[in-house]
Amino acid sequence: MREYYLDNFLLGLKPFSFWHHFGVNGKIAGSLAAIHEMESAVPVLYGPRGCGFHYRYSARSRNTPYYELECADIQDRDVVFGAEERLCALLRQIDAEQRPELIFVLPTVLSDIINDDLAGIVEAVHPELRSKVVAVRSQAFSHMDKSNTRKRLQERAACTAKRAGCSAVYPGCGYVEVMDAVVEQLMEPQTVEPRTVNLESFIWGFGGEVKLRRMLALLEKIGVQVNTLLPACSLEQMRQAPRAQLNIVRRRKWALAMQQRFGTDFLHIADMQEWHGLQGIKDYYLAIAAKLGLQERAEAVLAAELAAVQPQLDACRELFAKHRFALISGSLAALPEQIMIYEQDFGLPLGSVCLILNPSFQKEAGVDSATLAKMHERIEAAMAEAGCKAKLYINPAGAELRQAVQECDFVLAGSNPRYNNLGRLVLPTLLQYSAFDFVSFAEIMQAMARRLTAGQGLHDGLLLSRLEYDAIFYPMTADDKNTRASREMYTKFWRTRRR
């Protein structure tokens, strides 16, 4: 969790989507993200030192290297004869010198290939140590994002409800593997305390600690007590996590494991864009309240919270209504929600809606034509429901894209600075900012209003906005043909794998 301004700065330098698509990161990056949240926890990579060096300085470590990361430093000889003693010696050293509450032993590609028994090694050395040592089990050789992306699109296309949910469980995701280990090896049976929740602290997007703090405050007003934040807590708090009546989670797989072992119900926030907007915020807390028997109290609290910020919302809408906006989106799944929120909650009159996808998106994502057609129907239905009179452009480029933008006063787009060359001020999109309380939502509207009146865009005046970027593989430049060829080849290999 990060403070507001530091988070804003870091996301501007390294947007999350770029890390995922361009960072050379395996599932270990997700494991480290989970452990980095914990109190007094040391991760140990069971692999060669090059692996340890890379992940210590991984882009996903945000602003500083992950200095606490340790590595077993497996050599060629260890691949043949085993590295049990090397690992045990390192665990004894960490336990004696650092005295952490937790040590996590993480598998690597090497350990998966030679199939070393990490759980057995940890079990043998554990009686000698004061620290609790957790051996994380590798559930799949690689991340399952290929098949899960396809599944999520199909589910959203087929669902007519506002929130489609998601059945994806992400086996092979490093973050999920660590959380599963926490459930299986650290949590203990507890007496359930009514109207209490565990809140998953990971991947709530821009805002970090401020967002979670406000979420906790609003839950308390409704009458909900937070048992702990997972995994951003101590060992003892992890042990007592099953005391909560409900888990509020971003990743479904570990919540299913906890439900199976302890009977803990959960609310899965699969896609944050499905909960965007004023109604989305209200529905989020009402969904929690419904599971805890607090619906009436929640209705009263939420009505008062919304009334308190209504004057700010009305003032912003009055300003926005004087202009027309061009929306540029690269997300087929999120575009219907973006249209609804901009038109209905923000009061932003959309003049153009531009959906820009990778030309090979359908083939690489494995999406069939029927699913693609249904997704386009969802976009048209959202425009009709919101009363959006914008013209819809599919993959506009060159003169057509410039025309779509020139018809409007401002552009709503992501952080790709190539849109600064279109002659209109670029404002941030809701994919970068999300709110789970009314005060935060009002602040987002006010920040956009200030940018609009001051004439200040995302990259206004910066030299990087004058470069010619690749239309698909930003931040690559348009003249970098060799890198583009390598990226295209890698993408094709990755997406054509079975899983």
Q: Which residue pairs from 32-36 have beta carbons closer than 8 angstroms and sit at least 24 positions apart in sequence? A: 32/58, 32/60, 32/61, 32/66, 32/69, 32/106, 32/174, 33/60, 33/174, 33/175, 33/202, 34/174, 34/175, 34/178, 34/179, 34/202, 34/231, 35/104, 35/178, 35/231, 36/61, 36/66
With 60 as the cut, is the pLDDT of residue 438 above it? Answer: yes
Q: What average pLDDT does the segment 63-91 reach?
A: 88
Higher pLDDT, residue 110 or 197 = 197
CA gap 100, 131 in Å, rounded: 6
Q: What is the mean pLDDT of the chain?
A: 84
pLDDT at 349: 96
Q: What average pLDDT does the segment 84-106 reach?
A: 96
| 481 C-beta neighbours (distance < 10 Å), count | 11
pLDDT at 160: 57
pLDDT at 337: 86
pLDDT above 90 as % of the chain:
50
Best CA proximity match to 111, nearest among 55, 45, 58: 45
pLDDT at 373: 85
pLDDT at 499: 53
**Buried-exposed string 419-430: b where 16+ CB fall within 10 A, e elsewhere:** bbebebbbbbbb
With 80 as the cut, is the pLDDT of residue 93 above it? Answer: yes
| 94 C-beta neighbours (distance < 10 Å), count | 19
Higher pLDDT, residue 99 or 433 = 99
The separation between CA 209 and the C-alpha centre of its own chain, rounded to angstroms, equals 15
With 90 as the cut, is the pLDDT of residue 88 above it? Answer: yes
Best CA proximity match to 356, nearest among 328, 392, 391: 328
**Secondary structure class of 459 (helix, strand, coil):** coil
Cα dihedral across residues 448, 449, 454, 455: positive or negative = positive
pLDDT at 452: 86
With 90 as the cut, is the pLDDT of residue 227 above it? Answer: yes
Lowest mean pLDDT among 119-123, 181-185, 232-236, 490-494: 490-494
Q: Give 334-393 pLDDT, tens digit per residue.
A: 888 889 989 999 999 999 999 988 777 766 666 778 888 888 899 999 999 999 999 999
Q: Which two tokens stand for residue 203?
A: 């991947």
Angle at 166 between CA 165 and CA 170, to 5 degrees: 155
| 300 C-beta neighbours (distance < 10 Å), count | 12
pLDDT at 2: 41
Residue whose tokens read 């395996």: 26
Q: Where are the beta strands (DSSP E) in 201-294?
A: 225-230, 246-249, 265-268
Q: What average pLDDT does the segment 55-81 reach?
A: 79
Q: What average pLDDT does the segment 134-161 reach?
A: 69
The answer to whether 375 touches 363, Cβ cutoff 8 Å, is no
Q: Give 176-195 pLDDT, tens digit per residue.
A: 999 999 999 999 999 999 99
% helix, strand, coil for the chain, step of 5: 55, 10, 35
DSSP-derived secondary structure for 305-324? HHHHHHHHHHHHHHHHTTS-
Where residue 90 falls among pLDDT bands split at 50, 70, 90? very high
Q: What average pLDDT does the segment 437-458 reach?
A: 85
With 70 as the cut, is the pLDDT of residue 141 above it? Answer: no
Higher pLDDT, residue 270 or 205 = 270
Lowest mean pLDDT among 168-172, 235-239, 265-269, 275-279: 168-172
**Secondary structure class of 75 (helix, strand, coil):** coil
